[in-house]
Structure 1
Amino acid sequence: MEHEQSHRLGKRRRKRCVILIVIVVLIVIVIIAVVLGLTLRQNKSEFESTFLSRCEKFDQYDCKKVWDAFQQAYVNKDPCKVPVEAYDPLIAAAPFKPQCNRMMFWSKTKDVVHGFTEKRDCFVTLEDTLLGSVLDGLTWCGKEGSKDTFTTGCPRTCENNPVDSFWIRASAAYADVACGDVTAMLSGSTTTPFDPTSTFAKVEVTRFKAPKVRSLNVVMVIQKNAKSNCKNASLQKLKNALHKGITYSCKDVPESRIQECGSKPQIACRTCW
């Protein structure tokens, strides 16, 4: 009899332990789900907050309208199926404004260019405009069946990914409004300063049209152990790619000179090279 009662007691204890384990597991699952949910919302909120705070530095724009147009391009979509034209409504919501004789393009010289334009207001790059400034350095994508914006796990290897499609579309729109004397900063540290696979070659140069664009002035940034200069063979392809009527010039400029001009506003911009 005692043995039977002990057996029943042990059985009840084991049953209670199983129930407790199940309850603990369920609690852990709920906590993980809540934390993940909060993390996703936090990422979205942080991204949106960054977007809007950067946007609000520019006057005369409805930043909420720009944000909504931006989201339409990629939210609830396969992150490998966001074509360039998906950003047409965004470009329409915040169109680029022509800034004749001040527009600067670049290829493989981003740090040098922006180190200069951040200190001097004589030239304007795509990244100095509203859309370029708002999204510079950011990663984003959507997922089918979700209204969220994700900042991790976003593919960049597929052709129609949200980030690359945006920059191609924005580069095209920025080049479309180029006018007057246009400047491009290329790198003397590469063997092919005018790289035919670059956005500058494939997207921007092809959109420079005369007589709206008078000239393209190349600034070849020369660093230590430079591999090329204005005599590089690839630049002949650049000259050939220009629309008839656009004049071309190139000047080798030491990076140190560009940095000096950036730090000394008393130096006239046009004398920097």
Structure 2
Amino acid sequence: MEKQWQGDGTTLSLEEIIIGRCYNYIRVVNPSVGEKNCSQIWEAFRDAFIFKNPCKVFPKDYEPFIRLTVHDVPVNKSLFWENSQLLVNRYADSTKRMMPLDGTLMGWLANGLAWCGHPGGTGMNYKSCPTTDECEHNPVESFWRIASEEYAKLAAGVMHVMLNGSVSDGAYPVNGFFAKFELTNLIRDNILNIQIWVMDEIEGPDNESCGTKTIKLLETTLQEDGFKYTCTDNYKPVRLLQCVDFPAHHDCLCAQ
């Protein structure tokens, strides 16, 4: 009997989605990246996992895809995050204000999609794919690991990181992507300053702030690694964006 994984199966029309996103990115979202061969990019992405055991796909398998999609991240525009993706994307405004990982071409193409291989048929499993709890080296996990590492190497100037101060299990998770794959791959000589924004959710608890708990651990790590940094609780421009949906909340009245 065919094994059923716990994760969603490969997104239907994956090829059409990725090629379409590619042309949308290079023509509309960020034409400054120049010409890219979208068909070749799809083939490099597909070849990383198609027909393969979905528990034996490694970050290095995506290296051809990364080479085809990589481009510069504008100075002072890098934005890292943990537990705040929706807010990050709203603030980034489709690369107009910031360029987080999923605002780069490599991240834009894969964001929100699911995929994995199958030994027969079309070479893709449309019924289910493994989660990271089921096997570490699955196609999606391996993709975001190498993409995160490459994105970190591109950061320059003032770097930003948005953390969620309302989560209960650590605003700066030591096993999260930022700690394991991004912070460790920053090129220190390229970074002038790191701005930490600790954002509480509107109507959410204030579980962590600058200088406390896991945020303190992050600050200590940055000091030890020789980075200059600042930390701000509820950075006002982002707070005002949160308040668009809660204009009458007392936290938003105080933010005005």
The interval holding the TM-score normalised by the smaller chain is: 0.7 to 0.9
Extract unaligned runs of 5+ from structure 1. 1-42, 263-271
Superposition deviation, residue 123 in structure 1: 0.8
- SS of 1:196's partner is coil
What is the percent sequence identity of the aligned residues?
29
Partner residue, 1:238: 218
Alpha-carbon distance in 1 for matches of 2:118, 2:95:
40
Q: For residues 44 and 121 of structure 1, what CA distance do their matches in structure 2 show?
A: 28
Runs of 4+ aligned structure 1 residues displaced above 6 Å come to: none
Shift of the alpha carbon at 1:78? 0.2
Q: Identify the residue that residue 88 of structure 2 maps to in structure 1.
A: 113
Q: 2:137 aligns with which of 151, 156, 160?
A: 160
Work out which of the residue numbers 221, 240, 244 in structure 2 matches 1:257: 240
Contact 1:190 1:227 (C-alpha < 8 Å) held by counterparts: yes
2:58 aligns to what?
A: 83
Listed as ranges, the matches of 1:146-225 within 5 Å are 146-156=121-131, 157-191=134-168, 192-223=170-201, 224=203, 225=205
On the 8 A contact 2:196/2:231 being kept in 1, the answer is: yes
Residues 170/151 of structure 1: CA separation in 2 closer, same or farther (3 Å cut): farther
After superposition, give the CA deviation of every residue in 1:29-81 in whole Å (9 maximum; x if it has no partner).
xxxxxxxxxxxxxx887111111111111221110010011011101210000
Asked if structure 2 preserves the Cα contact closer than 8 Å seen for 1:209 and 1:246, the reply is no
Relative to the length of structure 1, the TM-score reads 0.75
1:40 is matched with none
Q: Partner of 1:61 in structure 2?
A: 36
Alpha-carbon contact 2:148-2:182 (below 8 Å) kept = yes
Q: Distance in 2 between matches of 1:74 and 1:239?
A: 38
Taking the aligned partners of 2:48 and 2:38, their CA distance within structure 1 comes to 16
Which has the larger helix fraction? 1
Shift of 1:140: 0.4
Q: Output the CA distance in 2 between the equivalents of 1:251 and 1:151.
A: 44
Contact 1:140 1:162 in 2 (8 A): yes
- Comparing 205-214 with 194-203, greater Cα deviation is found at 205-214
RMSD of the TM alignment (CA)?
2.3
Candidates 225, 228, 232, aligned match of 2:208:
228
Partners of 1:136 and 1:120 in 2: CA distance: 14
Distance in 2, Cα, partners of 1:217 & 1:45: 39
Q: Which amino acid aligns with 1:246?
A: F
| Inter-partner Cα distance in structure 1 for 2:94 and 2:140 | 27
What's the TM-score once normalised by structure 2's chain length? 0.79
Q: Which amino acid aligns with 2:119?
A: E
226-235 vs 77-86, greater mean Cα deviation: 226-235
Shift of 1:120: 6.9
**Residue pair 1:182, 1:213 contacting (<8 A) in 2 also:** yes
Corresponding residue number in structure 2 for 1:124: 99
Aligned length: 221
Q: 1:18 corresponds to which residue?
A: none
Q: Is residue 101–residue 181 contact of structure 1 (8 Å, CA) maintained in 2? A: yes
Output the amino acid matched with 1:240: T
* Pairs within 5 Å for 1:9-28: none
